[in-house]
Structure 1
Amino acid sequence: MNNNPITTHILNTALGKPAASIAIQLFILKDNEWTLLSSAMTNEDGRVDDWHETGWYQGKESEQLFATYKIVFSLEDYWEKQSIDGFYPSAEISFKVQDSRHHHIPLLLAPYGYSTYRGS
């Protein structure tokens, strides 16, 4: 079982299916600068459960992971592959990890809008 404290997935709500093969980057905010932690591609189920096994979180106590993070979803190639003229070429979601619970950051996607929430 994966113990990554941050996971994500993307659902294309216009098509009613997961969004596969989207490049995603995970950043952490340190000293007012965004630092890249890891990158990945969504799988066939639109999920990223492991960030290319870089293990940026391994060996850290949960309190050491408390910080502000950002996930950048690169959407332009996805829209082109779907032959859809999407309005947003990318989406950025920043969030704070302030407790030891798992943080699942889903993206609900449509050509002219997107939304997110804290998942479980």
Structure 2
Amino acid sequence: MSTLSTHVLDAVRGAPAAGVAVTLYQQGRQLDSGETDADGRIGTLGEALEPGTYRLVFDTGAYFARRAVETFYPEVAVAFVVTEERHYHVPLLLSPFAFSTYRGS
């Protein structure tokens, strides 16, 4: 079985993005949710992931609203594929008008 973690960094502040709600879905079904800690991390999402396509949805609108910062993206959805048994890490680099992600380790 595979495991999953995530990390959100606020590129404008140059700091971890604490308090971002993140939800894990597979085929439209919610599997798990959590909120980033003070270091911007969620260590585990989902129990044990089988091969398939998943989606992480980051509630970026609420995060920026708490900081009174206008944002173009009320949420960021990242779809990814689990193909083999391993740990998957999906980092998100965030700013009010842009974001990027990659398969981390």
Query: TM-score scaled by structure 1?
Result: 0.81
Alignment coverage as a number of residue pairs: 105
Q: 2:77 aligns with which of 92, 98, 114?
A: 92
1:102 CA drift (Å): 1.0
Shift of 1:101: 2.1
| 1:76-114 deviation line (CA, Å, top 9, x unaligned) | 111011221111100000000001221100000011000
Structure 1 residue runs of 5 or longer lacking an equivalent are 58-63
Structure 2 CA distance, aligned partners of 1:85 and 1:68?
A: 31
**Any residues of structure 2 matched to 1:5-20 within 5 Å, and which?**
5-20=3-18
Alignment partners' CA distance in 2, 1:83 and 1:15: 13
**What is the CA–CA distance in structure 1 between the aligned matches of 2:86 and 2:47, rounded to whole Å?**
17
Contact map agreement 1:4 1:50 (CA 8 A) in 2:
no
Does structure 1 retain, via aligned residues, the 8 Å contact 2:2–2:86? no
Unaligned runs of 5+ in 2: none
Contact 2:24 2:55 (8 Å CA) reproduced: yes
More displaced stretch, 103-112 vs 4-13: 4-13
Counterpart-to-counterpart distance in 2, 1:72 and 1:80: 17
Detail structure 1 runs of 4+ shifted over 4 Å in the superposition.
none
Alignment of 1:41-120 (within 5 A): 41-51=35-45, 56-57=47-48, 65-120=50-105
Equivalent residue letter for 1:25: T
Answer with 1 or 2: which has the greater Rg.
1
- Normalising by structure 2, we get a TM-score of 0.92
How far off its partner does 1:4 sit? 6.8
Give the superposed CA RMSD: 1.7
> How big is each residue's C-alpha offset from its partner over 1:28-60, in whole Å with a ceiling of 9 and x where there is no partner?
12xxxx111001011000001133xxx632xxx
